[in-house]
């Protein structure tokens, strides 16, 4: 982990805090700070390995250090921040979590197992699936991809991709499956962001379009009630995302060394 990397403080705008408070006047400050930091981490505006200094963040947001500490400790409990004890347990150091290739592969394996069986169940019992909602999520991702490709967005928003997968898992209505999925939900969200980020950075428009087509294939298999096909196309989709994520991650590291 890079101890010297620090976040771009422009990502921690007090205007964002004020907006959250305007939207919900009763929100706890620590909850608002949590949302700001979580959003910054998952969108890569706070890079993996970035050191989080409580006093600096508090000063930037114009608040005391206590709600910042509470927010960071919550993020640590969710696995998005790594906590390190230094100086004989007298001080704690916090960094945005990083993830290595082995962890990525294992996360994709877990995602494939859960998403695959969820897609199977949804196709088997498709009368309880909101197909129109799945289509809205797929259309949302296609729109986000288009906005990025044509240059109207500075980064590729993966929110609709994640929402589609979560919708399928929830529609399966298996509480144990949902519990397993949501226990790693934040890291899966990060994984989705990273996959889209690497594809976008590599300017592989055909690969981005292929993800859109895979979404459509999954939805169609569920709509037609073909469980085996739904699981197969979901597996192919996850495998494709894993291969591209690891590939472009490797390319990115090589470029950084040049």
| Confidence (pLDDT) at 145 | 83
Q: Are residues 143 and 60 in the same domain?
A: no
Please check whether residue 3 lies inside any domain of the structure: no
Q: Are residues 224 and 119 in the same domain?
A: yes
| DSSP-assigned letters across all residues of 174-242 | -HHHHHHHHHTHHHHHHHHHHHHHHHHHTT-HHHHHHHHHHHHHHHHHHHHT-HHHHHHHHHHHHHHHH
Co-location of 137 and 242 in the same domain: yes
Determine the Cα angle at 112 with ends 110 and 114, to 5°: 70
The answer to whether residues 123 and 238 belong to one domain is: yes
Whole-number Å distance between alpha carbons of 93 and 115: 35
Burial class of residue 150, CB neighbours in 10 A (0-12, 13-18, 19+): exposed
What pLDDT is attached to residue 11?
62
Is residue 1 domain-resident?
no
Q: Does residue 222 sit within a domain?
A: yes
235 and 113 within one domain? yes
pLDDT in tens, 125-172: 999 999 999 999 999 999 988 887 777 776 677 789 889 999 999 999
245 in helix, strand or coil?
A: helix
Each residue's pLDDT, cut to its tens digit, for the chain (258 residues) gives: 444 444 444 467 888 888 889 999 999 999 999 989 988 887 667 887 889 999 999 999 999 999 999 999 999 887 788 888 876 666 788 998 877 788 888 989 999 999 999 999 999 999 999 999 999 999 999 998 888 777 777 667 778 988 999 999 999 999 999 999 988 877 777 777 777 766 666 666 777 788 899 999 999 999 999 999 999 999 999 999 888 878 766 666 656 555
Q: Give the domain CATH number at 209.
A: 1.20.120.530
The predicted pLDDT at position 85 comes to 81
Say if residue 31 is in the same domain as residue 119. Answer: no
pLDDT recorded at residue 218: 98
Domain tally, the chain:
2
Residues 62 and 177 reside in one and the same domain: no
Q: How far is the C-alpha of 48 from the C-alpha of 191, rounded, in Å?
A: 12
Strand order in the sheet with 81-86: 51-52, 91-96, 81-86
> Is residue 239 within 8 Å of 220, Cβ to Cβ?
no
Tell me the residue range of the domain where 183 lies.
Answer: 101-257
In a domain, 2, yes or no: no
Residue 143 lies in a domain: yes
- pLDDT at position 9: 45
Residue 115: inside a domain: yes
**Residues 35 and 130 grouped into a single domain:** no
Domain final residue pick, 38, 72, 96:
96
Residues 81 and 123 in one domain: no
Give the CA distances from residue 5 to residues 15, 48, 178, 228, in Å, rounded to whole numbers and listed in that order: 24, 9, 36, 46
Tell me how far apart the alpha carbons of residues 182 and 179 are, in angstroms, rounded to a whole number. Answer: 5
Answer whether residue 63 is part of any domain.
Answer: yes
Convert the pLDDT of each residue in 2-14 to its tens digit: 444 444 444 678 8
Q: Are 230 and 221 in contact (CB under 8 A)?
A: yes
CB 100 within 8 A of CB 107: no
Asked if the structure places residue 17 within a domain, the reply is yes
- Residues 136 and 157 placed together within one structural domain of the fold: yes
């Amino acid at each position: 982990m890079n101890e010297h990397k620090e976040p771009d403080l422009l990502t921690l705008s007090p205007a964002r805090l004020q907006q959250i408070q305007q939207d919900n006047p009763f929100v706890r400050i620590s909850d608002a700070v949590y949302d700001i930091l979580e959003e910054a981490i998952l969108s890569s505006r706070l890079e993996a390995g970035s050191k989080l200094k409580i006093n600096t963040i508090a000063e930037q947001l114009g608040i005391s250090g206590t709600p910042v500490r509470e927010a960071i400790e919550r993020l640590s409990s969710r696995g998005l921040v790594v906590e390190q004890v230094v100086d004989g347990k007298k001080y704690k150091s916090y960094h945005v979590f990083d993830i290595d290739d082995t962890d990525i592969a294992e996360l994709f394996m877990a995602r494939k197992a859960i998403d695959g069986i969820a897609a199977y169940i949804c196709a088997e019992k498709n009368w309880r699936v909101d197909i129109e909602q799945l289509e809205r999520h797929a259309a949302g991702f296609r729109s986000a991809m288009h906005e990025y490709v044509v240059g109207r967005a500075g980064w590729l928003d993966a929110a609709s991709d994640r929402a589609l997968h979560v919708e399928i898992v929830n529609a399966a209505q298996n509480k144990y499956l949902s519990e397993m999925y949501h226990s790693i939900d934040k890291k899966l969200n990060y994984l989705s962001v990273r996959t889209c980020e690497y594809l976008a950075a590599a300017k592989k428009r055909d690969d981005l379009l292929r993800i859109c087509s895979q979404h459509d294939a999954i939805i169609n298999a569920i709509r037609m009630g073909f469980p085996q096909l739904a699981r197969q196309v979901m597996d192919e989709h996850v495998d494709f995302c894993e291969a591209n994520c690891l590939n472009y991650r490797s390319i990115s590291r090589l470029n950084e060394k040049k």
